[in-house]
Amino acid sequence: MSSSGSTTPARQLRCCGASGCRSAGSEELQAALEAARDAAGHTAQELAIKPVGCLRLCGRGPLVACDGPGGTTLYGAVPPTEAGALIEAARLGDHGNDTLQTSRLDPQLPFFALQSSVVLEGCGQVDPESIDDAIAFGTYSQLRRCLHELTPEEVREQVKRSGLRGRGGGGYPTGLKWDTVALQPPGPRYVVCNADEGDPGAFMDRSVLESDPHRLLEGLAIAAYAVGADRGYVYVRAEYPLAVERLRKALQQARRAGLLGNGIDGTSFSLTIEVRVGAGAYVCGEETALLQSIQGQRGMPRPRPPYPAQSGLWGAPTLINNVETMAAVPVILREGGDWYASMGTAGSKGTKVFALSGAVTNTGLVEVPMGTTLRSVVEVIGGGVPDGSPIKAVQTGGPSGGCIPAELLDTPVDYESLMELGSMMGSGGMVVMGETTSMPEVARHFMRFSVNESCGKCVPCRAGTVQLAQLLDRFVERRASPADMAKLDALCRMVKATSLCGLGQSAPNPVLSTLRYFRHEYEAACRQPALCEQP
Amino acid sequence: MSVITLSVNGKEVAIPEGVSLLEATRAAGVDIPLLCHLDGLEPVGACRLCLVEVEGSNRLMPACTTAASEGMAIHTHTHQLLDYRRMAVELFFAEGNHICAFCVANGNCELQNVAVQVGMDHSRFPYQYPQRVVDASHPLFAIDHNRCILCTRCVRVCDEIEGAHVWDVGSRGSHCHIVAGLDQPWGEVEACTNCGKCVDVCPTGAIFHKEDTTAEKLRHSDRPALLKAARDEHVWRNQ
Amino acid sequence: MTTPDPSTPEPAAPEPSAAGLPDRPKLRLATVWLAGCSGCHMSFLDLDEFLFDLAAVADVVFSPVGIDTKTYPENVDVCLVEGAVANVDNLELARIVRQRTRLVISFGDCAVTANVPGLRNLLASADGSSQQAVLERGYLELADTGAQLPFAPGIVPELLPRVLPLHEVIAVDLFLPGCPPSAQRIKEAIAPLLAGERPVMEGAEMIRFG
């Protein structure tokens, strides 16, 4: 049963029910908490137990936040057997209980204190399955405002002023893209939200979908209004069943509430949104392949131009933005583009959500202003390698990105800086690697990913990645020769320069970046030339 | 019809507006290797052999799918492009099972010709020896997947010209293969009209007439363009 | 003896030494026949009267069709290597050729691509090796009578796991594809070498496979 958001009880327990905590047993814990509360004779009015989305520190799930007059206390990895103690602590507002000591998390931890919640502001606050709760939190108020008070041009102006850039990895200026779509000749237009988050180690979009789906729908509706579209799609990967379920529920609720459909909120603006579930192809995150897939065709990229903004779904101008981009829109409208642009760096404005994982103490979701150094993210917020040993490298951008060595951790996180280092922002996956990680093995891991996920249309990606993976085998198995090194270099450059879409063009990045910063590991893997002479 | 001018390898050419960079290279008398492209079929930009450098762009563009525009300056035979093209052809040879010596298309094969064109005298990349099959279930024709380079000309000619759409691509990445019907034996696909257009356009010996043996396959890759001209512009060869 | 790993090419040979062949009265020429059908050698014999010109400037110091020497000699100037590398003898000879020869030519499609002998690689099992599968196919499954696997250590050379083109085993200086390369193509390739020049390996006449 969803809680009503309109009257927040003085004391409540917010239980994370996103995928990470679910896999750690959040459903059992929530049931145990409800049972313990009932057993103690407390009502929901006295002590509410509210299912919410992501509370960030996924590695310590299941997470529970206790709100009371004295503030909020967070608990992690609470066993269901401690439900009674937790209920008691929450009711009394006394969080000094010894039995819960190991579960209690310090809210002053840099992990929480250094984050700025913009896109994630509703994550962990609202009940993702309740539109009432979302509306009480303010969701859809910006859509209403846009429809009643702003022209599409004015909406686009705010987005342009915000300096928001595509959060899917490309970093294309969002306002410019919206203008391009809006200014196409009259005719049908489409908006598409790319929720086909497939990079290994990336779970930002999943968290938004699972935690605050109404915010995404609001952003999507505002985008549709701004570019003049009356049909939209959210393309979600099938591997995110909970996200799909919650998104579908949210759509149904929004339709019933008159926030989607014909004549939204008494205006002449109509918008139909459909969820399309992918069939497991990573390449469908590439926009032209995604459009093919929505049209019911084989998900294969096509050469651009023409860009989807000119010719997308069924040949009509189509706006495609990723989840995080769309979810940033309502806040930008609420606070103004200038407010958003006041965060971040000259070229990269606002905040960015990262999914922090790997050899790091605090695994979870992190939202920080652009320009924060990698070191603050992985060492301060992330807490470094669990055993206290030094970080060797940080991988950003998944199979399209690269490994940034420890000595460059003071680099600010923004599109240009990461690109200069031979990596890329990507969608926001950040994998921390400890000293024992072998870089040729990392490169091979990602290359094998690309081999499996190549759609097979163009030869550099289809056949080149296979050859690259086999070349990397020789380094991993320490039977490479100096000639293999030259071949690796040359083939990486060729695949990068000649592949048809972003998947192939960026597939060599993990190799190129590790060759750049950890070349000695490849050289050490080459057999001594003298040994080759031996039969 | 308005005309645009652009330069190909420093030579100025004038071409009708709306055509591709490939037409520009042809107007300049420059020969660039092609495998997936065939006049008369929709271009797909898959083989990457026709990539050219465009001044002012840091991306290589496929000549077959890129629209030519006024004032462009393109280069078709830079050292880098020659290098990439040769590698691409080596990758084609290495990913399939191409034994020219006993192929029906030996001496009349576009892959073989392209290898000569790019100066490929051996492959630096190890041959993969993929497990592929021969489908000889059709009464007239056969498809030997060992020789397929996934250019998708057969898919396109069957769909765009014949309208039967017998062919499509199945699986992903290096497992990609051409499928007949719903991945059935070709002979069981009722949609096939036995027209043989896929045989005509196949650049290698992958799709062939059953009666052809080693080095006997003839190519008729000009037919889609002739048919398209006949239909769209009512122009016939014997006019 | 452990089975050598043939998959690692030798370090690249010094720049092809065609132009720098020693200025001695006669070149020392060899031809080698690895896993191939000998068709390339037949094509070589098709050089007909050019063989006389060749004999005037070169001594054939090792060749299955030209001389009875059983041991590959030292200080060979040019060697045409026909055939793929399929067994341990092929591998051993290829390596000796590389050590004792200034200019190694990969001669014909089998040497250049593994070609027909390489077809047994299609029988490879999960570990990538095909030697057991090809023996079982040839000597057991297809046998009419007396099915048995050949086993004669030291006499019948062991098969390598995979059949490899020559350049995946040793560094090669010149590629002369063709199945077989025509006599004309062979002549166009070696005539310049005799004159101390590098042949121009371009165009269908010189490098078309098949």
Inter-chain CB proximity A533 and C4 less than 8 Å: no
Whole-angstrom distance, CA of residue C62 vs CA of residue C54? 15
Whole-angstrom distance, CA of residue A368 vs CA of residue B19? 48
Number of structural domains chain A divides into: 4
Contacts (Cβ under 8 Å, ≥6 apart) of A191: A220, A223, A224, A227, A229, A231, A232, A233, A318, A319, A320, A321
Nearest-Cα residue of chain A relative to residue B173: A456
Are residues A283 and A164 part of one domain? yes
CATH number at residue A447: 1.20.1440.230
Please report whether residue A3 resides in a domain.
no
Task: Judge whether residue B157 has pLDDT over 90.
Answer: yes
Distance from CA of C69 to the nearest CA of B (A): 31
Tokens, residue C203: 């165009």
- CB of B119 less than 8 A from some CB of C: yes
Q: Are strands B60-62 and B51-54 parallel, antiparallel or unpaired?
A: antiparallel
Whole-angstrom distance, CA of residue A437 vs CA of residue A442? 8
Residue C98 CB-density burial (10 A; 0-12 exposed, 13-18 middle, 19+ buried): buried
Task: Judge whether residue C105 has pLDDT over 50.
Answer: yes
Query: For testing the chain C interface, which of A474, A478, A532 should be mutated: the one with the most C CBs within 10 Å?
Result: A532
- CB of A467 less than 8 A from some CB of B: yes
Measured over the CA atoms of residue C128, residue C132, residue C136 and residue C139, the dihedral's sign is positive
Nearest-Cα residue of chain C relative to residue A535: C4
Beta bridge partners of B73: B7
Instruction: Give the three-state DSSP class for A451.
Output: helix
Contacts (Cβ under 8 Å, ≥6 apart) of A41: none
pLDDT at position A1 is: 38
Are residues A239 and A158 part of one domain? yes
DSSP letter string over A192-248? EEEE---STT--HHHHHHHH-HHHHHHHHHHHHHHHT-SEEEEEE-TT-HHHHHHHH
Give the domains, in start order, of chain B with CATH numbers. 3-77 (3.10.20.740), 103-233 (3.30.70.20)
The residue among B168, B169, B166, B216 whose CA lies nearest residue B194 is B166
Query: For testing the chain B interface, which of A498, A499, A506 should be mutated: the one with the most B CBs within 10 Å?
Result: A498
Alpha helices in A287-336 (DSSP H): 287-294, 323-335
Nearest to B173 among A303, A452, A487 (CB): A452
Measured over the CA atoms of residue B98, residue B99, residue B100 and residue B105, the dihedral's sign is negative
Whole-angstrom distance, CA of residue A185 vs CA of residue C164? 59
Write the secondary structure of B134-148 as one string of H (helix), E (strand) and C (coil).
EECCCCCEEEEHHHC
Contacts (Cβ under 8 Å, ≥6 apart) of B195: B162, B164
Inter-chain CB proximity A532 and C11 less than 8 Å: yes
Are residues A358 and A337 part of one domain? no
> What number of C-beta contacts closer than 8 Å exist between A and C?
23
* Helices (runs of H) and strands (runs of E) counted in chain B: 6, 10
Are residues A402 and A306 part of one domain? no
Task: Judge whether residue C1 has pLDDT over 50.
Answer: no
Which residues on C lie below 8 Å from B101 (Cβ)?
109, 115-116, 179, 209-210
Whole-angstrom distance, CA of residue B6 vs CA of residue A295? 36
Mean pLDDT, residues B216-226 = 93
Any chains having at least 3 CB pairs less than 8 A from chain B are: A, C
Are residues A362 and A337 part of one domain? no
Instruction: Give the three-state DSSP class for A526.
Output: strand
Instruction: Give the three-state DSSP class for A378.
Output: helix
Nearest-Cα residue of chain C relative to residue B98: C115
Angle of helix A464-476 versus helix A439-453 axis, rounded to 10: 160
Nearest to C11 among A479, A482, A534 (CB): A482
Nearest-Cα residue of chain C relative to residue B120: C207
Are residues A396 and A256 part of one domain? no
pLDDT at position A9 is: 64
Please report whether residue A530 resides in a domain.
no
Inter-chain CB proximity B129 and C172 less than 8 Å: no
Inter-chain CB proximity A532 and C12 less than 8 Å: no
Are residues A374 and A286 part of one domain? no
- CB of C136 less than 8 A from some CB of A: no
Topology classification of domain C23-118+160-201: Rossmann fold (3.40.50)
Which residues on C lie below 8 Å from A474 (Cβ)?
8
Per-position pLDDT tens, chain A of length 535: 344 444 556 799 999 999 999 999 999 999 999 999 999 999 999 999 999 999 999 999 999 999 998 889 999 999 999 999 999 999 888 888 778 888 999 878 899 999 999 999 999 999 999 999 999 999 999 999 999 999 999 999 999 999 999 998 889 999 999 999 999 999 999 999 999 999 988 999 999 999 999 999 999 999 999 999 999 999 999 999 999 999 999 999 999 999 999 999 999 999 999 999 999 899 999 999 999 999 999 999 999 999 999 999 999 999 999 999 999 999 999 999 999 999 999 999 999 999 999 999 999 999 999 999 999 999 999 999 999 999 999 999 889 999 999 999 999 999 999 989 988 888 899 999 999 999 999 999 999 999 999 999 999 999 999 999 999 999 999 999 999 999 999 999 999 999 999 999 999 999 999 999 999 999 998 875 444 433 3
Whole-angstrom distance, CA of residue A231 vs CA of residue A221? 9
Distance from CA of B4 to the nearest CA of A (A): 19
Question: What stretches of A313-408 adopt beta strand conformation (E)?
Answer: 318-322, 351-358, 364-369, 391-396, 402-405
DSSP letter string over A93-157? T----GGGTTTEE-TTSHHHHT---STTTTTTTS-TT-HHHHHHTTTTHHHHHHHHH--HHHHHH
Inter-chain CB proximity C113 and B122 less than 8 Å: yes
pLDDT at position A422 is: 86
Please report whether residue A125 resides in a domain.
no
pLDDT tens digits for range C194-204: 888 999 999 99
pLDDT tens digits for range B48-95: 999 999 999 999 999 999 999 999 999 999 999 999 999 999 999 999
Please report whether residue A367 resides in a domain.
yes
Distance from CA of A494 to the nearest CA of C (A): 21
The residue to which tokens 């920080």 are assigned:
A368
Are residues A513 and A402 part of one domain? no
**Position C21 confidence tier, pLDDT thresholds 50, 70, 90:** low
The residue to which tokens 């797909």 are assigned:
B44
pLDDT tens digits for range A337-377: 999 999 999 999 999 999 999 999 999 999 999 999 999 99
Please report whether residue A531 resides in a domain.
no
Nearest to C124 among B102, B103, B129 (CB): B129
Which residues on A lie below 8 Å from B83 (Cβ)?
490, 494
Whether A273 contacts A217, CB under 8 Å: yes
ipTM, two decimals: 0.97
Nearest-Cα residue of chain A relative to residue C171: A483
Task: Judge whether residue C4 has pLDDT over 60.
Answer: no
Phi and psi for B124 in degrees, rounded to 5? Answer: -75, -15
Tell me how far apart the terminal alpha carbons of chain A are, to the nearest angstrom.
73
Residues 170-209 of B with CB under 8 A from A: 171-176
Are residues A373 and A276 part of one domain? no
- CB of B40 less than 8 A from some CB of A: no
Name which of A87-101, A149-163, B14-28, C83-97 the model is least confident about: A87-101
Tokens, residue B164: 């039967």
Inter-chain CB proximity C10 and A482 less than 8 Å: no
| Count of all residues that appear for chain B in the document | 239
Examine the fold and report which residue of A292, A321, A341 is the final residue of a domain before the chain moves on. Answer: A341
pLDDT mean across residues, chain B: 96
SS3 of chain C: helix, strand, coil, percent, to 5: 35, 20, 45
- CB of C92 less than 8 A from some CB of A: yes
Distance from CA of C168 to the nearest CA of A (A): 11
Task: Judge whether residue C10 has pLDDT over 70.
Answer: no
For residue A471, what are the domain limits?
Answer: 439-525
The DSSP H or E segment spanning B171 is none
Inter-chain CB proximity A481 and C11 less than 8 Å: yes
Task: Judge whether residue C19 has pLDDT over 70.
Answer: no
Whole-angstrom distance, CA of residue B160 vs CA of residue B41? 7
pTM: 0.93
Give the percent of chain C with pLDDT over 70.
89
> What number of C-beta contacts closer than 8 Å exist between B and C?
68
Inter-chain CB proximity C4 and A532 less than 8 Å: no
- CB of B95 less than 8 A from some CB of A: yes
Nearest to C92 among A483, A529, A535 (CB): A535
Residues 145-164 of B with CB under 8 A from A: 149-150
Whole-angstrom distance, CA of residue B237 vs CA of residue A531? 65
Are residues A412 and A496 part of one domain? no
Beta bridge partners of A394: A404, A432
Whether B180 contacts B135, CB under 8 Å: yes
Inter-chain CB proximity B127 and C210 less than 8 Å: no
> What number of C-beta contacts closer than 8 Å exist between A and B?
100
pLDDT at position C196 is: 87
Any chains having at least 3 CB pairs less than 8 A from chain C are: A, B
- CB of C91 less than 8 A from some CB of A: yes
Q: Are strands B73-75 and B3-8 parallel, antiparallel or unpaired?
A: parallel
Whole-angstrom distance, CA of residue A428 vs CA of residue A430? 6
